[in-house]
Amino acid sequence: MICHVCNGFNQIDFFCEECGGKMNDMGKRMDYEDKYSAYLTDLYEDNVLECEHLLVCTSCFRDRVVGIRVE
Ligand SMILES: [Zn+2]
Ligand SMILES: [Zn+2]
């Protein structure tokens, strides 16, 4: 079971809900656990089949976490 985004097979193609800007993949959420743990707790707790990536909008810098399906 690997994440295709982590391994470079796929690129995340998400757009910002606020401004429609392109969102950059900042890597796995776990790498940012300390900084973001305040509000990310329990978001995807039950879904072990997803690799969580932190995305940041290139325009307004809003961030969000998305679960990438692991195959
Ligand atoms: Zn990943
Ligand atoms: Zn934005």
* ∠ CA 23-29-34, rounded to 5°: 120
Can you give the residue ranges of every domain in the chain? 1-71
R_g of the chain, CA atoms, integer Å: 12
**Cα(1) to centroid of ligand 2, in Å?**
31
pLDDT tens for each residue of 8-64: 999 888 999 999 999 999 988 776 555 554 444 445 555 468 898 999 999 999 999
Look at the pTM and tell me if it is higher than 0.75.
Answer: no
- What pLDDT is recorded for position 63? 95
HEC readout, 15-46:
ECCCCCCEEEEEEEHHHHHHHHHHHHCCCCCC
Closest CA to 50 of 35, 32, 30: 30
Residues at Cβ < 5 Å from ligand 1 ion = 3, 5-6, 51
Give me the pLDDT at residue 54, please: 93
Specify the pLDDT at position 33.
56
Q: Which residues are paired to 61 by β-bridges?
A: none
